[in-house]
Structure 1
Amino acid sequence: MIPEKAKNYLEAFPTIEIIDILKTSFINKKNFSEIMYLKESEIYWALELKYLDFDDVFLIVIQDITEKKEKEQNQKNFLNDISHEIKTPLTNIKGYLIALEEANQEDKKNFFNIVNHNVIKIENILHDFLKISKLEEHQLSNNSFFTSEELEKELIFLLSYIIEKKSVEFTITKNIKLFLPKNEIISILKNLIENSIIYNENSIPKVNLSIKINDSFYIFELKDNGIGIPESEKEKIFQRFYRIEKSRNRNLGGTGLGLTIVKTLIEKLNGTITLKSNVDQGTTFTIILPYSYKV
């Protein structure tokens, strides 16, 4: 017979899966330990029942491990994605290295360039992967004072190769003072600007960064004249390794992780990012970040 105290526990758990476990354990007076997924409430519980025979009662311990399980699943998905993304360039490298044996001098040069391109792609994927992993585990850097002119100088330095190669017109709002984690802001803007340049088919790519300050927020607005983003894909672009269909087969060099890094950083800064875009008419990203010190 189920002890009187156990009836109260049964009434406290309306979930049928747990009720069945409790009934079975109480009747058989057996210990129980299991991780359970409660589909109705979409949570994970670590459930443990310990029978205390000296008092003829059960000790019930329930721990909500939803966050832990979600993190484990995200890491598993990410590793699967990494494996999938690296598989293609590795296959290309292997194939062209085999082809080198019978290639003429001109083909050898082309094959070496292709192998080198794929090696760089793998390096970039691993670099961005490690960056995201660190972002999820570490705190942000401290806020510091810097100007929009200093920001412009660092961004141009970091992107000098691609800016010069594609003759980019990059403009930024002048005479703005900021008090934010500088490293994180540079990382966010670098990734966005790099995408604006990479996914741009104009003879002169144009990228404008507007910075405004109102009573409570910094507002960054990055506008380009690139290929744009289809309406059906706007909700997907922040997913890991996602690339818009128009650019997917064009060998444009992105890892598909840049916007994931951007979103992760902005969320850590308690900010938001939105976008407006039309195919072949460019894209505008708007970032809104709170600040704790008015300058």
Structure 2
Amino acid sequence: MLKKRNIYIAIFFVSLIGLAVIQYQYLRIGLNLAKLQFNAKLGNVSSDIAQGLEAENQLTFLIGSALKEDTTYFTNSIDSVQDASRYFLNDYITEKLVNNGIDTDFTYTLHSKDSSFYLQSPKRFELDDNIESYPIELIGYLPKEFEKKVVLELQFKNLNSFFLSKLNGLTLPSILFILGICIAVIWVLKTYYWQRNVITTTNEFINNLTHELKTPVFSIGLATKILEESALKDQKPILSMIRQQVKRLSVHIDKVLELGNLESSNNVLKLEKIDFRPYLLKLCEEFATLVEIEEVHFTYTLQQGCFIINAEEFHLENSINNILDNAKKYSVQPIITLNAYSFKNQFIIEISDNGKGVSEEEKKKIFLKYYRVNDKEVQTVKGYGLGLSYVKKVIEKHKGKVLMESKKGKGTKISLIIPLGNE
């Protein structure tokens, strides 16, 4: 069980890491696409700005005067002219960026190629900011005015953060879905192992309790046998009834213990290669003798030859007895047949009866532990819903399977299919 648990946990973490790697690759692709889109938009911005500043107009004239520190046409000081040009140019660039879908923070520097003329934006980034620059070479009025190349350099900081903000439609849901998967899987694992602990504790309690019950049951049976030897004639039927019920209780205790052991990790079945035909023949003969006085019509047919299988005869015999006993208990005038044969490297035992049968819906649950058919007539027969669950566990331990064919009111056929061990 521990090995399986570790495998499941390993698969979960490998899947989670794989999902995270795939999401990371998608994120990288998204960032690259966002960067390409940004560069394309910035190319449009550069073209718009260059064209807007190409001709002589109020803005270019103001910028030129600020760069030359010329106040001939202004009543304000040179500082005021320069401040005005900074803000007007900043608003102009902002408008062009927003029109092209770029709404991140920026600064700019306007300067000649030899930096003899220089104008900065009102806002400046810190020196330690992650800054990327995009130069725009201006044409027209300003370069002619200064007879030098004039460059408008745009600066953006932390562009990766800007790109990620544009990818929130992908990144945020991905992170939320991964967290959701983690929470769901952890909750399922926690619930599963909690239930396993509860089941283990319950089985341990039932096993301990049934072990404790075996001693007083044995003592009662022994005391009843001793009393029978000296009992009066009218007392013997009562003592016989006590012994019968004690024997019945002992069978139920053994069944609970066997089922609990099969469900635990204990390897209670030690399979050996045997010819099961003699065991099955003896079982059929004993059952025929047992039901002869109960007006049960029982017939059996065993194919000639050997039935070599890997089996543990005690539990396999108990499983067959369980099915025969059910066929007897749940039929009014039981007609039971048992056929055993080998076919296509499989050993098959078919047990048919003329009982009440079960519905299609009930067939899905009939092999569950503690489940009993919801029928008033069936409920009058004493039982705990352990027999067929025990049968299925035993056959599965033999690497076989149990099949049921049944129709309501038309009887039931149960087939036990176990691989032959001739190899």
Q: Deviations over 1:33-62 (max 9, x none)?
A: xxx9624xx3349xxxxxxxxxxxxxxxxx
* Corresponding residue to 1:249 among 346, 354, 379: 379
| Secondary structure in 1 matching 2:307 | strand
CA distance in 2, matches of 1:80, 1:117: 27
Q: Structure 2 vs 1, CA of residues 293 and 79 (structure 1 numbering), >3 Å: closer, same or farther?
A: same
| Secondary structure in 2 matching 1:276 | strand
Paired AA for residue 223 in structure 1: S
Q: For the Cα contact (< 8 Å) 2:273–2:421, is it kept in 1? A: no
Q: Which residue of 2 aligns with 1:187?
A: 318
CA distance in 1, matches of 2:279, 2:386: 26
Moved more, 211-220 or 126-135: 211-220
TM-score normalised by structure 1 residue count: 0.60
The reply on whether 1:165 has 2:294 as its aligned counterpart is yes
TM-score normalised by structure 2 residue count: 0.44
Please state which structure has a larger fraction of its residues in helix: 2
Q: CA deviation at 1:184?
A: 3.1
* Corresponding residue to 2:415 among 280, 286, 293: 286
For structure 2, the 5+ residue unaligned runs are 1-16, 22-174, 210-235
- RMSD of the TM alignment (CA)? 3.9
Q: CA deviation at 1:221?
A: 1.6
Q: Deviations over 1:196-232 (max 9, x none)?
A: 1111111xx2222222323332222211112211222
The reply on whether 1:154 has 2:286 as its aligned counterpart is no
Paired AA for residue 271 in structure 1: G
Instruction: With a CA cutoff of 8 Å and minimum separation of 6, indicate the structure with the bigger relative contact order.
Output: 1
| Secondary structure in 2 matching 1:220 | strand
Counting aligned pairs with the same residue, the percent is 21
Q: For the Cα contact (< 8 Å) 1:223–1:283, is it kept in 2? A: yes
CA distance in 2, matches of 1:150, 1:233: 32
Q: Which residue of 2 aligns with 1:224?
A: 353
Q: CA deviation at 1:11?
A: 4.9
CA distance in 2, matches of 1:77, 1:17: 31
Q: For the Cα contact (< 8 Å) 2:303–2:341, is it kept in 1? A: no
Q: Which residue of 2 aligns with 1:71?
A: 196
CA distance in 1, matches of 2:261, 2:249: 18
| Secondary structure in 1 matching 2:351 | strand
Q: Structure 2 vs 1, CA of residues 245 and 110 (structure 1 numbering), >3 Å: closer, same or farther?
A: farther
1:1-295, aligned counterparts within 5 Å? 11=20, 14-16=178-180, 38-39=186-187, 42-44=188-190, 69-75=194-200, 122-136=249-263, 137-157=266-286, 160-180=289-309, 181=311, 182-202=313-333, 205-246=334-375, 247-250=377-380, 252-294=381-423
Q: How many residues align?
A: 221
Q: CA deviation at 1:257?
A: 0.8
Q: Structure 2 vs 1, CA of residues 146 and 216 (structure 1 numbering), >3 Å: closer, same or farther?
A: closer
CA distance in 2, matches of 1:163, 1:231: 32
Q: CA deviation at 1:117?
A: 7.8
Q: Deviations over 1:209-260 (max 9, x none)?
A: 222323332222211112211222111111122222234431x233321101
Q: Deviations over 1:131-150 (max 9, x none)?
A: 11222322423323325354
Q: Structure 2 vs 1, CA of residues 292 and 76 (structure 1 numbering), >3 Å: closer, same or farther?
A: same
Q: For the Cα contact (< 8 Å) 1:213–1:219, is it kept in 2? A: yes
CA distance in 2, matches of 1:15, 1:166: 66
Q: For the Cα contact (< 8 Å) 1:196–1:224, is it kept in 2? A: yes
Q: For the Cα contact (< 8 Å) 2:355–2:412, is it kept in 1? A: yes
CA distance in 2, matches of 1:269, 1:276: 21
